[in-house]
């Protein structure tokens, strides 16, 4: 209802005579500014013989991921592993409470409540265990990829050498 009231009030507030202009844009009609025009642009792009590749590229995997993206994937898999482990522990606690409640009383209503706790605890434990297996299966290869990418990045030669083509020292 509040959306209808807002829509109707917007229609009432908007003027009825709004339309597009028929005239074309004419650049000569613009008023010139009082500031003098700059003689040269403020920023200029100049390229040397080496080209544009001045900034070092981030190392990438064959999939096209950078090291930061790979670290984020490992972090997310680790978070998934810990959260599903927590869910498994919660399911274990609910299951234990249900078993303890079922053994302590012989009243039929409490036994039914205890069986509900046991079943729900089992479901949460099984789901958490499946999540642990899945996230563990993802975490291992992702950590291996990250280790190999770091090893490849940091194992490259970083010695200074003289570039004959440009007569300068490269690191």
pLDDT tens for each residue of 112-158: 888 899 999 999 999 999 999 999 999 999 999 888 888 877 776 66
Token pair of 56 as six digits: 């070092």
CA 56/CA 45 separation, integer angstroms = 19
Domain ranges of the chain: 87-149
Neighbouring CB atoms inside 10 A of 131's CB total 18
CA 152/CA 139 separation, integer angstroms = 20
Torsion-angle region of residue 167: left (phi > 0), alpha (psi -120 to 50) or beta? left
Most confident of 30-44, 89-103, 147-161: 89-103
Per-residue pLDDT, averaged over 40-61, amounts to 56
Q: Grade residue 89 by pLDDT with cuts at 50, 70 and 90.
A: very high
Neighbouring CB atoms inside 10 A of 99's CB total 15
End-to-end CA separation in angstroms for the chain? 68
- Most distant pair of Cα atoms in the chain: their distance: 96
- pLDDT at position 154 is 73
- pLDDT at position 104 is 80
Mean pLDDT of the chain: 76
pTM for the whole structure: 0.53
- pLDDT at position 66 is 81
Residue 83 pLDDT exceeds 50: yes
- pLDDT at position 55 is 44
DSSP state of 169: E
């Amino acid at each position: 209802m509040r959306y209808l009231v807002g829509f109707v009030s917007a229609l009432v507030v908007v003027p009825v005579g709004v339309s597009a202009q028929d005239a074309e844009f004419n650049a000569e009609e613009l008023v010139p500014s009082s500031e003098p025009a700059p003689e040269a642009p403020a920023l200029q792009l100049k390229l040397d013989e080496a080209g544009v590749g001045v900034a070092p590229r981030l190392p990438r995997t064959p999939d096209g991921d950078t090291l930061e993206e790979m670290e984020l994937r490992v972090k997310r898999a680790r978070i998934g592993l810990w959260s599903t482990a927590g869910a498994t522990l919660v399911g274990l606690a609910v299951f234990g409470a249900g078993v303890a409640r079922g053994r302590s009383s012989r009243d039929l209503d409490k036994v039914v409540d205890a069986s509900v706790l046991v079943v729900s605890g089992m479901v949460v434990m099984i789901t958490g265990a499946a999540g642990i297996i899945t996230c563990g299966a993802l975490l291992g290869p992702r950590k291996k990829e990250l280790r190999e990418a770091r090893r490849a990045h940091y194992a490259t030669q970083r010695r200074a050498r003289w570039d004959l083509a440009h007569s300068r020292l490269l690191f």
